[in-house]
Amino acid sequence: MFRIHTRWVPPCIALLFSACVLAPEGLDDEQTRLADNGTPYLAQRSERELPELSARPTWRELLQRAFLTHGEIEAAWQEWRAAVARVTGESTWPSTNVEIGFEHMFSPSRMSAWERTSLGVGFDPDTMLELPFKTELMGKVALADARAAGERFRAAKFALQRDFLERWVELARLEEEIALKAEILALQSSASSAAERAAVIGSGSASLVRTKIELAVLENEILGLQSSALQAAARLRGIAHVTSEVVISARDSWPLRDAPPVADDVILAHAALSNPALTELARAVEGREDALELARAAWWPNISPRAGLTGSVTRFFGASFSLPVALPRVRAEIEQAKADLARYTALAHQGATDVNAAVTAELLALREAERAHAFLKDTIIPLANELSFFAGSAYAGGTASQMEWIDAMRAVIDARLALLAARAAREVSLARLEEWMGIDWGTLVKTWEVSDVR
């Protein structure tokens, strides 16, 4: 009796612990990517070690700190983490719990207690056992969703980088403009002094009033620029999660990045391949294709096997099948899956068009900023300096007035202001192109050949 009982123990144990993961291909790589990008977020915020900042931190230092502390970036990684974990759950087979039954009959017969005992092992009848290929399809759908979540994390990082660099360049431009406006203010003060001397001797009263108005307007502009600079610095501190004690001087740390010497079509090709939004849509299309196959798999019946014994008297094995009879529902789910696939395919096609147009427009803006910067630097600035030199010589020789000399020097400063605006526009375009491509310029420099793109 005891020997018969033990023969059933190994199969029961094997059945109870036979759950496995029908992991889709690529899950290990996705888990590795997740781990590589999530090291900073594994520890609690209070326990994270952040890199020390220098006395006047550069944009790279503060941007790195922003990546480690920004809540939206961490939330995107946690969403990715949950999606990757869901793949294992969806890929686990059997897809239902094991049910163990026990019955004991009370009978006046002389049967032994073991022979009046029934044992049964099967799967939970409330949830039918999915066929393995259905579980594999569910895992593929979940993996596509996890990969899409990974692209959303990458998009969030590039969006943060672009936003930070735009604000940094704006602050640098404001600080440079304040310094240049201060030079203009000094020139205007000299003009005001000359006008006051003219007014004392009985002439130039109107010119004096006009000069005072210009001086007051310029002082007000500088105050407005200083207020804007303080606001920009406060926003940067918020992005980087640093206190107000941290000194931010953006004009001392311009990004000063050069786009790699590549043709525009190479940049467009990189954007088409690695733009986070397009890659996310591509993953979504993959997932919807597997979801369509999963919906079609509903035509296949599910099964619920079971086995048992009654002492040493009987042994049995059986199975229940779940046949699809709600045919309109199955057809509707297949139709819904087809519609989802068509929807994401249409979004992917339109997304490719939109990204191509946006990158093309940004490239035009970059080339224009580069052209304007080169024109101002190589043509206008030298001419303005030459004009200032001749006006200064004429003023020293008594053939030109002080106002003419001051106007010539102001023309130099105005040209430098225009050069500053072109420089800022160029840096902003570079940051936006990085976001559109989903590639840092430093990375693109190493792999800029067309063959690498293809």
Tell me, letter by letter, the H, E, C secondary structure of 322-352.
Answer: ECCCCHHHHHHHHHHHHHHHHHHHHHHHHHH
Residues 132-185: tens digit of each pLDDT: 888 889 899 999 999 999 999 999 999 999 999 999 999 999 999 999 989 888
What is the reported pLDDT for 223?
Answer: 94
* The token pair that represents 451 in the structure block: 């063959």
Long-range residue pairs from 446-453, CB within 8 A, at least 24 positions apart, any chain: 448/260, 448/261, 448/262, 448/266, 450/265, 450/266, 450/269, 453/266, 453/269, 453/270, 453/273
Q: Scanning the structure block, which residue is given the tokens 């066929």?
A: 131
pLDDT grade for 189, boundaries at 50, 70 and 90: confident
Which uninterrupted H or E stretch holds 98?
strand 98-104
Q: Which residue has the higher pLDDT, 265 or 257?
A: 265
Residues 1-59: tens digit of each pLDDT: 334 444 554 555 455 445 687 888 999 999 999 999 988 888 887 777 888 888 889 99
**What are the beta bridge partners of residue 308?**
120, 316
How many Å apart are CA 11 and CA 98, to the nearest integer? 13
Cis peptide leading into residue 324 (ω within 30°): no
Question: pTM, whole model, 2 decimals?
Answer: 0.81
* The token pair that represents 340 in the structure block: 């989802």
How many Å apart are CA 348 and CA 342, to the nearest integer? 10
Q: Is 118 helix (H, G, I), strand (E, B) or coil?
A: strand
Q: In the CATH hierarchy, which fold is given to the domain comprising 2-30+63-453?
A: Outer membrane efflux proteins (OEP) (1.20.1600)
